[in-house]
A = this chain, B = another copy of it.
Amino acid sequence: MSPDFQAVLDDIATTLQPECGMAGQVASYIPALARVPAAQFGIALRTCKGEEALAGDATTPFSIQSISKLFTLTLAMRRMGEDLWDRIGREPSGNPFNSLVQLENEQGKPRNPFINAGAIAVADRLVSLGNARADVLAFLSDLAGELVDFDEEVAASEAETGFRNVALANFMKSFGKIDNAVAEVLDLYFHQCAVRMNCVQLARAAGFLSRDGAHPVHRRKQVTTERQARRINALMLTCGTYDAAGDVAFSIGLPCKSGVGGGIVAVVPDHLTLCVWSPALDATGNSLLGLKALELFVAKTGLSVF
């Protein structure tokens, strides 16, 4: 018998309420993120059977940022299959998400698709396939069951200040690992990071990861094969939370993908997909209350992959 998930989420929201906005730092590198009020918390889940539960600010949209890497990776895997991995590795990086050191040691091949360099390499693949910005939006909207859109202010700010990402893309290009013009690739990358979604939409959109690749709503449709869904979960577990992935696996034990907007998507294979959001980040760039909520969730439900 499955737990009463609505009660679990309510309980988590109540427990964390006093800490909300009290610690951590909202991402401040662009104004549109810096002015998001810290004292917000939302959580939502969708089970494999389609039940949904939510609590707190679960319908407030936020900037999904690096969570977008999960969906662009999925798109690229659908389109390209195994060829994708010629350009991108599958190993944890052991370095900050925007580090150039490892890229230099490994001749411009990013360690995995969730560090910035890897996601930029994925974006390059999607640009080669054509119509990439529209495709990403259509894909996310279909999965979420609602239209989603870019926040153009955020995209413009990222483009204005994203010198490190410009460096990463040019560095990979200097190794012949980016095919398209850097400006076009980064236009997609900055836009995908600037998608606005809420917890309910993200829990639904990533639902295929707990359903062996089956579409969150249309069970007959496969978003990915079962094997691909498992593999994406594996990448999330080993590489999905920046340089804290090992610690998150250790203390939470679920495949997760986080973003500096404060969102975290987590998967319990064969059970449910979860999204939690709270804008204040810890030192590793992951949502402080988001991680706490996931720890509570695992403790209360006993759900974990291990």
* Interface positions of A (Cβ within 8 A of B): 89-95, 99-104, 111-112, 163-164, 166-171, 173-174, 182, 229-231, 233-235, 237-239, 243-247, 249-251, 253, 255, 269, 304-306
- Can you list 23 A-B pairs, Cβ within 8 angstroms, ordered by A? A89-B246, A90-B246, A91-B94, A92-B94, A92-B245, A94-B94, A100-B100, A100-B101, A111-B246, A163-B171, A164-B174, A166-B166, A166-B167, A167-B170, A167-B171, A230-B304, A230-B306, A231-B250, A237-B249, A237-B306, A238-B238, A255-B306, A269-B306
- Interchain CB contact under 8 A, B269 and A250: no
Name the one of B91, B99, B100, B169 contacting A247, with C-beta atoms under 8 angstroms. Answer: B91
Give the distance in Å from the alpha carbon of A174 to the alpha carbon of B90 in the complex: 27
* Given A250-B231, A269-B306, A306-B305, A238 and B163 contact (CB-CB distance below 8 Å): no
* Given A90-B247, A234-B249, A250-B235, A170 and B163 contact (CB-CB distance below 8 Å): yes
- Interchain CB contact under 8 A, B104 and A99: yes
Name the one of B112, B233, B305 contacting A246, with C-beta atoms under 8 angstroms. Answer: B112
- Interchain CB contact under 8 A, A174 and B163: yes
Name the one of B182, B235, B246 contacting A92, with C-beta atoms under 8 angstroms. Answer: B246
Report the minimum CB–CB distance from A216 to chain B (whole Å).
Answer: 17
* Given A100-B104, A306-B233, A170 and B166 contact (CB-CB distance below 8 Å): yes
Q: Contacts of A102 on B, CB cut-off 8 Å?
A: 94
Report the minimum CB–CB distance from A93 to chain B (whole Å).
Answer: 5
Q: Contacts of A170 on B, CB cut-off 8 Å?
A: 163-164, 166-167, 170
- Interchain CB contact under 8 A, A249 and B253: no
Give the distance in Å from the alpha carbon of A102 to the alpha carbon of B244 in the complex: 16
Given contacts A100-B104, A163-B173, 11 further A-B contacts (CB under 8 A): A91-B94, A94-B94, A99-B104, A100-B100, A100-B103, A101-B104, A164-B170, A230-B304, A233-B253, A237-B249, A269-B305
Name the one of B111, B171, B234, B246 contacting A91, with C-beta atoms under 8 angstroms. Answer: B246
Give the distance in Å from the alpha carbon of A168 to the alpha carbon of B163 in the complex: 10
Report the minimum CB–CB distance from A141 to chain B (whole Å).
Answer: 26
